[in-house]
Chains A and B, each alone.
Chain A
Amino acid sequence: MAKDKNNTIVDRAWDFMASIKLAIILFALISLTSIVGTILEQNAAPSKNIQVLGSLFGESLAPTLYVAFEKLGFMDMYRSWWFLMLLMLIAANLLICSLDRLPRTWRLVKDPMKPLSKEHMAAIPLKREFTIKGKPGAAKDAVMKAVKKTGVKVMESSEGGDIQLYGERRRLSRLGVYVTHLSVIVMLVGSVIGIFFGFKGNVNIPEGATYTVAFARTGMLTPAQDNEQNMIIRAVENARGDVAVAANSLGVEEDHLRARMRRLGVIPLEFGLRLDNFDVDFYGMSDMAKEYSSVLTVVDGGREIIKKRIEVNDPLKYKGITFYQSSYGLMPPGDYRYILRATSRNGATETMTVRKGETFTIPGTSVEASVAEFNASLAFDPSGRPFTYAQFMNNPAVRLEIKTGQESYLKWIMKRNSNTWRLTSGDVIELRDVIGAQYTGLQVRRDPGVWMVYLGCALMSLGLYIAFFMNHRKVWVMLSPAKGGTDITVAASANKNREALERKIDRMVSLLREGEK
């Protein structure tokens, strides 16, 4: 910035902080480090990145390079001090450059437009001069009409025998660039609020269980910390999520307990979240998932407040905390309950929930059955032996032991294949669902800064729109008496899109000249 010549160090530092040079240096640094950050997997197991480095620089160098990069913070670079500092410097650069330029723009915006002297008018590049018939006073109305067509609000002044018509439009559009710059700062502030006052955790809830805590991602815990974490979780769960009660039962101060929780990555939810059912929908008979869904119930103060089926892209929100469907898996064999629907030959139907080994009767018949075996992903090898083909519940099946007076046999019933439901006796047993076999993995987020980030997005749209699609346009028309008519001088300026203005001015001029004929 070319300001006054008294270049003190403070002035020079200010100018540097406001310069686009600094912006380029900062963004170059961010880009270069980001490239490293996208090649090295963030927060990954060391072996993965050693392999990446090995493929780029050779096996022998890889471990040394890994240590070097790790020391520099590249394994978690977007949270490293120097990356955050770069972002802060960008914010400072943006802020200072805006503050540096704002006063001048503000003067342009604040002061109403003034008529121009002839000399000033002569200095404006976009100019048209011509003569029309009639005295200035008589020609004025036609000129006024023509000037209005350029979109400006017309004012009038006269000096000597000269009349000047002038006007401007969208003076405030000069501020668009500041709105845009401000929006970036608003977003950054919002994200900092999110980092300091929000949290990012996850929790795996088995079907039927209620959780009152979530887990933030922390580093590895020592066995002692692991024990302490378990103790805290149990206390919080027993207290139904009430940290004060949990602290009381542990015999510690509530603040102390909260501090320990933060250290150990346990986040109390202050309410309970129960998983009623988790389900995967598949495309046809394939193993390609179509939808994952968890039926969740919020239990607060002993009452069920909300029951919602969440899906990927459709989370549950409660008390500022949002739960996202993010993963799932199979529980180790335990208390599974099988929901079976039996329909007898003569049409009597009953749905029942049984555990392994519990005998039930098909309604209206004397056929008895019980679950002998469960397989989460049943398949048969070429010799007909059953095996489990996936780690998930892709093809749940129960092997029923069926007793019909005379005989007793085993039969596999698959949930997804209705051909397997019919027994030789003509009765039908359908596997509706298995409860307790799966858990749902939820992302748990609280981000009190998000509204500011969105506000920043909105401000940015507004700012970009103003900055690029609106311009500050000024038009001056001088009418001076001349021999046999009026000399007209048209001058115009715009802070951008001058071509369009020039076309407008030419149209205006031809309009005036046509009016002559």
Chain B
Amino acid sequence: MSPLDTVFFWISIGLYGLTSALYIYSFIFKNDRVLGRISYFIGAAFLVHTAAILARYAAVGNLPVAGGYENGLGGSWVVVLFTLYAVIRHKGLRAVGVATLPFALVLLGYGVMSSPELVPMGVSVKSFWLYVHVFFAWLAFGAFTLAAGTGVLYLLKAKDPDREFYEKFPGLPRLDDLMFRYVVFGFITDAVMITSGAIWARDLWGSYWGWDPVETWSLVTWVIYGLGIHLRVTMGWKGRRFAWIVIFALPGILITYFGINFFVETSLHVFEAWQEI
């Protein structure tokens, strides 16, 4: 990390930690007042986070699209961006941060533990398709996280619908509908992500699909969301069931996003060993 990058990075970690703590506090003690002001904290943390990305860009010359640290930095940024979008769009949804903010914090933490060194981009990742690929991966990642966060709110509210604290949340049908919309958005962007990855892979390795671990996982998670959509549309799995699906599907996205390498090191998506492509 460059010095500037480091400073912004740790400040944003601190702010996200604080925001997450406030969220958890307000949920445990059912405190409305804290929740009412929490958007300012998210906004501040997000600005510093953006500054960290820009500092990184200035130091290394590319957007954070490759490697564990950059993926953590970029992925959590997108998660917070989507949270902000939801908060601004639907006031009642500001509670969604109770799930997404701690998640973003974990992503950042994972990123900084993996490989924060400044490295120029490897040869294989220099492609126009990389940007398309990563951009849509971000969109899908953010949407699925938001869906899972909405799912958490749904389950909380469904369990205890009369509680005053939950009254400011959107109504259950609305939450259910939003959850579905986020999943559909994620499903479509995920499809574009996989397709652009396939096109890029064809330019790079000569075949659009090689059952590489990352490819396999991205397909499996895409299919899981696809099945969720089918269950909802054709078998009426709405509400609680759908909420559980979107929550349980998220770890698959996480594994795919970070490129499986915390399990195995055989993936071509680990780009260091170029000679062996």
Residues of A within 8 A of B (CB): 20, 23-24, 27, 30-31, 34, 37-39, 41-42, 44, 52, 78, 191, 200, 283, 288-292, 312-315, 322, 324, 326-329, 392, 443-445, 447, 450, 453-454, 457, 460-461, 464-465, 468, 499
Cβ of B62 to closest chain A Cβ, rounded Å: 13
User: Please, how many angstroms separate the alpha-carbon atoms of A461 and B230 in the complex?
Assistant: 17
Do A27 and B207 touch (CB < 8 A)?
no
Residue in B192, B204, B209, B274 whose CB lies within 8 Å of A191: B209
Do B227 and A38 touch (CB < 8 A)?
no
Do A20 and B234 touch (CB < 8 A)?
yes
Do B216 and A38 touch (CB < 8 A)?
yes
Cβ of A248 to closest chain B Cβ, rounded Å: 32
User: Please, how many angstroms separate the alpha-carbon atoms of A445 and B127 in the complex?
Assistant: 20
28 CB contacts below 8 A, A to B, read: A23-B227, A24-B227, A27-B220, A27-B227, A31-B224, A34-B211, A34-B216, A37-B213, A38-B217, A38-B260, A39-B263, A39-B264, A200-B206, A289-B122, A289-B274, A290-B120, A290-B123, A292-B274, A313-B124, A322-B206, A326-B205, A326-B206, A326-B277, A327-B277, A443-B205, A443-B206, A447-B207, A453-B208
Residue of B nearest to A446 (CB): B206
Do B120 and A461 touch (CB < 8 A)?
no
Do B208 and A288 touch (CB < 8 A)?
no
Do B275 and A328 touch (CB < 8 A)?
yes
Tell yes or no: B114 within 8 A of A by CB: no
Tell yes or no: B266 within 8 A of A by CB: yes
Do A37 and B234 touch (CB < 8 A)?
no
User: Please, how many angstroms separate the alpha-carbon atoms of A284 and B45 in the complex?
Assistant: 36
CB proximity to A under 8 Å, residues B182-226: 184, 187-188, 191-192, 195, 198-200, 202-209, 211, 213, 216-217, 219-220, 223-224
Do A464 and B220 touch (CB < 8 A)?
no
Given contacts A20-B227, A314-B203, A326-B277, 8 further A-B contacts (CB under 8 A): A20-B234, A30-B223, A31-B220, A31-B224, A38-B264, A328-B275, A450-B202, A464-B188
Residue of A nearest to B121 (CB): A290
User: Please, how many angstroms separate the alpha-carbon atoms of A41 and B202 in the complex?
Assistant: 21
Total inter-chain residue pairs, C-beta < 8 Å: 109
Total interface residues in chain B, CB < 8 Å: 47
Do A468 and B184 touch (CB < 8 A)?
yes
Tell yes or no: B231 within 8 A of A by CB: yes
Return chain A residues, CB-CB under 8 Å to B89.
none
Cβ of A369 to closest chain B Cβ, rounded Å: 34
Do B123 and A312 touch (CB < 8 A)?
yes
Return chain B residues, CB-CB under 8 Å to A313.
124, 126-127, 200, 203-204
User: Please, how many angstroms separate the alpha-carbon atoms of A52 and B263 in the complex?
Assistant: 11
Given A312-B123, A313-B124, A327-B275, A445 contacting B207 (CB threshold 8 A): yes
Residue of A nearest to B204 (CB): A313
Residue of A nearest to B213 (CB): A38
Return chain A residues, CB-CB under 8 Å to B123.
289-292, 312
User: Please, how many angstroms separate the alpha-carbon atoms of A443 and B227 in the complex?
Assistant: 36
Given A191-B209, A200-B206, A38 contacting B276 (CB threshold 8 A): no
Return chain A residues, CB-CB under 8 Å to B224.
27, 31
User: Please, how many angstroms separate the alpha-carbon atoms of A191 and B192 in the complex?
Assistant: 19
Tell yes or no: B177 within 8 A of A by CB: yes
- Chain A proximity mask over B84-124: 1 for CB below 8 Å, otherwise 0: 00000000000000000000000000000000000110111
Cβ of A73 to closest chain B Cβ, rounded Å: 13
Tell yes or no: B28 within 8 A of A by CB: no
User: Please, how many angstroms separate the alpha-carbon atoms of A27 and B267 in the complex?
Assistant: 22
- Chain A proximity mask over B49-77: 1 for CB below 8 Å, otherwise 0: 00000000000000000000000000000
Do B266 and A312 touch (CB < 8 A)?
no
Return chain A residues, CB-CB under 8 Å to B219.
34
Do A461 and B206 touch (CB < 8 A)?
no
Residue of B nearest to A90 (CB): B223
Do A461 and B207 touch (CB < 8 A)?
no
Given A315-B203, A326-B277, A42 contacting B264 (CB threshold 8 A): no
Residue in A31, A457, A468 whose CB lies within 8 Å of B195: A457
Cβ of B85 to closest chain A Cβ, rounded Å: 19
User: Please, how many angstroms separate the alpha-carbon atoms of A38 and B211 in the complex?
Assistant: 9
Return chain B residues, CB-CB under 8 Å to A37.
211, 213, 216
Residue of B nearest to A293 (CB): B123
Cβ of B244 to closest chain A Cβ, rounded Å: 15
Residue of B nearest to A194 (CB): B207
Return chain A residues, CB-CB under 8 Å to B209.
191
Cβ of B161 to closest chain A Cβ, rounded Å: 20
Residue in B124, B195, B223 whose CB lies within 8 Å of A312: B124
User: Please, how many angstroms separate the alpha-carbon atoms of A52 and B267 in the complex?
Assistant: 14
User: Please, how many angstroms separate the alpha-carbon atoms of A454 and B209 in the complex?
Assistant: 12
Do B220 and A288 touch (CB < 8 A)?
no
User: Please, how many angstroms separate the alpha-carbon atoms of A324 and B127 in the complex?
Assistant: 14
Return chain A residues, CB-CB under 8 Å to B275.
327-329, 392
Do B205 and A324 touch (CB < 8 A)?
yes
Residue of B nearest to A201 (CB): B206
User: Please, how many angstroms separate the alpha-carbon atoms of A291 and B217 in the complex?
Assistant: 29
CB proximity to A under 8 Å, residues B255-277: 260, 263-264, 266-267, 274-277
Return chain A residues, CB-CB under 8 Å to B216.
34, 37-38
Cβ of B143 to closest chain A Cβ, rounded Å: 13
Residue in B120, B231, B264 whose CB lies within 8 Å of A283: B120
User: Please, how many angstroms separate the alpha-carbon atoms of A314 and B207 in the complex?
Assistant: 13
Return chain B residues, CB-CB under 8 Å to A324.
203-206
Return chain B residues, CB-CB under 8 Å to A461.
191-192, 195
Given A30-B220, A200-B207, A464-B191, A288 contacting B264 (CB threshold 8 A): no
Return chain B residues, CB-CB under 8 Å to A52.
264
Given A313-B204, A457-B195, A461-B191, A20 contacting B230 (CB threshold 8 A): yes
Residue of A nearest to B173 (CB): A499
Do B202 and A34 touch (CB < 8 A)?
no
Return chain A residues, CB-CB under 8 Å to B267.
38
